[in-house]
Structure 1
Amino acid sequence: MIQTINSVFKAQQAHKYTLRNSNATQRINKLSALKSSIEKYEKDIYTALQNDLRKSEFESAVTEVIFIYSEIDFAIKNLSNWMKPQKVGKTITGLMATNRIYYEPKGLCLIISPWNYPFQLMMAPLVSAIAAGNCAILKPSELSSETSSIICRIIDDCFTEEEVCCFEGDAALSTILLNLPFDHIFFTGSTAIGKVVMEAAAKNLSSVTLELGGKSPTIIDDTADLEQAAAKIAWGKLTNAGQTCIAPDYILIPADRQDSFVEHYKNAVTRMFFLTDGALDLSSYAKIINKKHFERIEGLIEDALSKGASIPFGGKKNPSTQTIYPAVLTGLSEESEIMKEEIFGPVLPIITYQTTQEAIDLVNKMSKPLALYIFSKNKKNIHQIIKNTSAGGTCVNDVLIHISNPKLPFGGVNASGMGSCHGQFGFKTFSHERAVVFQSSLDMSKLIYPPYEKKGWVLKWLRKLM
């Protein structure tokens, strides 16, 4: 395996200089070929996601496949403009100069993707890497092995190894790859592993993009429509059984609205995910990825209950099908582990507050989240929360949908990530913005050359102009 990896790495190192000179038409053709290959294997993708995560075909289409078709189409439509050198303004020392920003490929990139949205979270950065003119080595998650296998088949179908190559394997493979001097590393996964990736990248001074996670709060104020909020939160929380990096992680709500919200949430969850006979509809509700994660979530619930929390709704578990039913936790202690780590499961803790500032303070006590959600009709409250908190992205009166707009950057801050992706932001992530100045023969730079005697007037003149 090491010999094969080194051989591919060496081939891509050589080929990246050819790709550097590729034009928009050539890159668009590659993106079109990728889309055609995905279309060819679309049914196989749905089967793989069903087997890995018990995702329904509809959910897989919306959150994984159609999402990537949209990303590809947006890149194809806009790539020619993205690649054009950008004009910028002049300075006093270059009044006659021409200034441009050129977008050049980073070169040879490593993309490591997770298991929760295994197709989308590999293909989205790959689309950006191709659009920017890079070579890439891909390492999908071994936990979603069937989807990983399909990803590698798609790549083999439309790329040569010297341009894009996919390797399947566990953490040992990641360690081998991270020791190589990539020009850029794009990692999606947990904050803990993100630190490992960044440490490894530092040894080779590889630039990194980290798409991580964290505890994404949802603040509901006393003006919010609870029925509407509950329905949106239920969808956002329980899509993929809560195994979503931007899922609403916990709720902050005025104490006198908690019971009403729980009732609306229960009704929304029942309507969306339960059959008429009261049984959970497993055809539309994903499973927990494996036994380890099942037991981790189970442990978080048990720890919260042992510290005084209660479950007003849900809480049933079925180890044989790796299913944790939708659940709500109230009366939580600050010492509960579920309030210290990202849940990544279908359990919704609810914390009550008295004032908007108290809710803000609770959010700011934790690491900066990947997403923050606000449900309110009060513009003053909305802007107060946005202004006084930090998050990778925010939705007001909705959840998740900001990730679907390729005109918006998607990414975290500090513990929830570094850098951004999607659309032009992804193109720039995989590009180096190179400053280029074309100096005119009529320039004023010599005014600041030595000798400096009798040039005090130049400093006075510069101070007035700058």
Structure 2
Amino acid sequence: MYPESFTQLKRAYASGRTRPLTWRREQLDALRRMIAEHGHDFIAAETADLGKPASETVLMELNLISAEARFVRNRMGFWSKRQYKPMPWSLQPAQGWTIAEPKGVVLIIAPWNYPVLLALEPLADAIAAGNAVCIKPSELAPHMSALIAKLVAQYLDQEAITVVEGGPKETGELLDCAFDHIFYTGGERVGKIVMAAAAKHLTPVTLELGGKSPCFVDNTVDLNVAARRIAWGKFSNAGQTCVAPDYVLVTPDIAEALAKRISVAVTEFYGENPETSEDYGRIINDRHFERLLKLLPAGTVPPQEPSSPLIKAASAVGAAAEMVGRRINVGLDALASRKAQQAPGVIDSAGRLVCGGAVNRETRYIAPTVLLGTQPYAPVMNEEIFGPILPILVVEDADAAIRFINARPRPLAAYVFSNRRAVRLAFERRTSSGSLGYSLTLAQLLSSRLPFGGVGASGMGAYHGKTGFETFSHIKTVVAKPQFPDTLKLVYPPLDEFKTKLIKFL
């Protein structure tokens, strides 16, 4: 099925139907109309898949898609024109320019955490550049996947824009096709698979991945404002945001105060019981839910009761075996530390629970959780959290924070809350991240004028606005030189002494 869909897209692109600016404008207008006329359907699908609040879907997804489509529509004509470049005097008389041409047939693979935004926002950029497009929504958000497939077929050109639903099998079949560009948003593990598949066809890729985005706070800022902005950035979409603050680095003098104020901000946003709040989401599936539970401090989550006597007996045997293994492999010091964690007021490597920790397996609810005093070697620091758990690590100063960040893979985002110019410049010049925010979180996503992308392990390439247009375009160089006068004869062979001296001079 999928090679046939790919063949159809190739045929549509080869016909030239996607190149005219009129076609691009029609598709972008239709995309905006689709968002406006089916906003409630998108909200319902996100609620069904993620338990996401309607306001988050509108603010962080639907509005951004419409804004991006409008932004590129109004500017793509200028971006598509010849861009003249000065030529060196040694080649005169001559002209040179670049022209943006579509790459061809492109594949967009979207994730589940922002399933409509990260499928349709890059689609707007790809359409603006004049490409035929195949969209692969995430199978982990099935309601949204089905809705995107249905509405794209209704509103957009079916011959040049198509949606393929399915799971890893279907994605693998798509990756076997020789697309002209692949745009993938998701995790590092699958990103490596996408890149390896693209290498077979020498297909260029854009990888929007993730990573552990740090946040540094010192004592020069208003802690109430910092706490609110950190809490909003971390706990929106239940922490399932690639640029959410993954952990906080804070100086000792304000660590306790900041943790408490983030806890207060959580209550301000979601009430005394966030489980009943209409503004707080849920974890996408059971696998991610159980993964997150393992990152909480020991004893925070009560064990799940086995469902039968046989399972209970097996669990008891397994628990005993696990304890023996710990004593053998970890050693007496680690065992003593684990016992100490059960005592009131004593923390494990994950840190002390400041707020949150409540869970509900039936609804996949994890309360906004703040941990203070997390150790660098804690399990919660060994992977991208991608959930509503915020570890706070105490560091000596900004230099220590920079060393800590630089010792780890480069993140998709970094945030700095400091009013010291020297501290800001130190983070700007000495750390590398996809984006850097001063005294805010997430906001770098909101402007079509700012490119968005990762670096190193957090991704490659970028999009949004003109950068997105260029990502899905080939920027072709064109040079023209008149036949008269034929100044190039001065460097034609045979190269006598005069020509040799002239070439050296040039």
In structure 2, distance between residues paired with 1:443 and 1:224: 67
Please give the alpha-carbon distance, in whole angstroms, between the structure 1 residues aligned to 2:35 and 2:427.
41
| Structure 2 residue 327 is the aligned partner of structure 1 residue 283 | no
Letter of the 1:314 partner, please give it.
G
Aligned twin of 1:114: 111
| Partner Cα separation in structure 2 for residue 302 and residue 175 of structure 1 | 38
* Aligned equivalent of 2:398, options 340, 346, 356: 356
- Select 1:190's aligned residue among 178, 187, 191: 187
Alignment pair present for 1:447 and 2:442: no
Change (3 A) 1:202 1:283: same
Question: What amino acid is the match of 1:90?
Answer: M
CA RMSD of aligned residues (A): 1.5
| Pairwise CA distance, 1:118 | 0.2
Moved more, 324-333 or 264-273: 324-333
Structure 1 Cα separation of the partners of residues 48 and 173 of structure 2:
28
Q: 1:295 aligns with which of 290, 304, 318?
A: 290
Q: How does 1:255-294 map to 2 (within 5 A)?
A: 255-275=252-272, 278=273, 280-294=275-289
1:316-335 equivalence runs, <5 A: 316-335=358-377
| Cα contact 1:20–1:105 (8 A) shared by 2 | no
The TM-score with structure 1 as length reference comes to 0.95
Q: Secondary structure at the match of 2:462?
A: coil
Q: Which moved more, 1:292-301 or 1:83-92?
A: 83-92
1: CA distance between counterparts of 2:31 and 2:245?
Answer: 33
Deviation at 1:451, TM superposition (A): 1.7
The answer as to 2:273 corresponding to 1:230 is: no
- Residue 456 of structure 1: aligned partner: 500
2:78 maps to amino acid: N
Matches within 5 A, 1:363-382: 363-382=405-424
- 1:393 is matched with which residue: 411, 435, 448? 435
Amino acid at match of 1:457: K
The corresponding residue for 2:385 is: 343
**Residue in 1 that maps onto 2:334:** none
Q: Specify which of 91, 94, 98 is matched with residue 97 of structure 1.
A: 94
How many positions carry a matched residue from both structures? 457
CA deviations on 1:151-181 (whole Å, 9 max, x unpaired) are 1111101234320110110111111111111
- Length-normalised TM-score, structure 2: 0.88
**Which shifted more, 161-170 or 188-197?**
161-170
2:178 aligned partner: 181
Q: What one-letter code is carried by the residue in structure 2 that aligns with 1:301? A: L
Distance 1:443 1:404, change over 3 A: farther
For the residue of structure 1 that corresponds to 2:409, the secondary structure is coil
CA contact (8 A) 2:352 2:373 kept: yes
* 2:55 paired with 1:12: no
Kindly tell me: are residues 127 and 443 of structure 1, through their superposed partners in 2, closer, same or farther at Cα, counting changes over 3 Å? farther
What residue is the counterpart of 2:62 in the other structure? Answer: 65
**Residues 259 and 372 in structure 2, CA contact (< 8 A), matched pair in contact too:** no
> Which amino acid in 2 is paired with 1:238?
F
Q: Structure 2: how far apart are the matches of 1:259 and 1:371?
A: 25
Q: Write the distance in 1 (CA, Å) between the matches of 2:209 and 2:202.
A: 20
> Is residue 297–residue 348 contact of structure 2 (8 Å, CA) maintained in 1?
yes
- Show structure 1 runs of 5+ residues with no match: none
Q: Distance in 2 between matches of 1:21 and 1:270?
A: 50
Shift of 1:20: 6.9
- What secondary structure is seen at the aligned counterpart in 2 of 1:321? coil
C-alpha distance after superposition, 1:191-241 (max 9, x if no partner) = 111111000000011110000000000011221221110000000000000
CA displacement 1:315-374 (0-9 Å, x = unmatched): 111111101101112222322221121100010111111122111000001111000101
Specify the SS of the correspondent of 2:96: strand
Give, as a single letter, the amino acid of the residue that structure 2 aligns with 1:461: F
Structure 1, residues 404-423: CA drift from partner, whole Å, max 9, x if none?
A: 11001000001101100111
Hey, what does 2:315 align to over in structure 1?
none
Offset of residue 394 of structure 1? 1.0
Q: Which residue of 2 aligns with 1:82?
A: 79
Contact 2:215-2:417 within 8 A present in 1 as well: yes
| Amino acid of the structure 1 residue aligned with 2:201 | N
Moved more, 383-392 or 159-168: 159-168
- Asked whether the 8 Å contact 2:19–2:102 carries over to 1, the reply is no
Identical-residue share of aligned pairs (%): 39
In structure 2, C-alpha distance between the alignment counterparts of 1:355 and 1:33, rounded to whole Å: 52
Partner SS for 2:275: coil
Report whether the alignment pairs 1:142 with 2:139.
yes
Match of 1:301, SS state, is coil
CA separation in 1, counterparts of 2:178 and 2:164?
17
Which residue does the alignment assign to 2:302? none
Closer, same or farther in 2 for the Cα pair 1:423/1:165, shift >3 Å?
same
Tell me the distance in 2 between the aligned counterparts of 1:137 and 1:7.
12
Q: In structure 2, the residue corresponding to 1:354 is in which secondary structure?
A: coil
Query: Which one is further off, 101-110 or 34-43?
Result: 34-43
2:25 matched residue in structure 1: 28
Uncovered stretches (5+) of structure 2, i.e. residues with no partner: 299-340, 342-346
Query: 1:445 offset after TM fit, Å?
Result: 2.7
Secondary structure in structure 2 of the residue aligned to 1:168: coil
Partner of 2:332: none
Could you tell which deviates more after superposition, 98-107 or 447-456?
Answer: 447-456
Distance (Å, rounded) in 1 between the aligned partners of 2:14 and 2:91: 32
2:60, 2:486 → 1: CA distance?
A: 55
Paired amino acid for 1:170:
G
Please say if 1:313 is aligned against 2:355.
Answer: yes
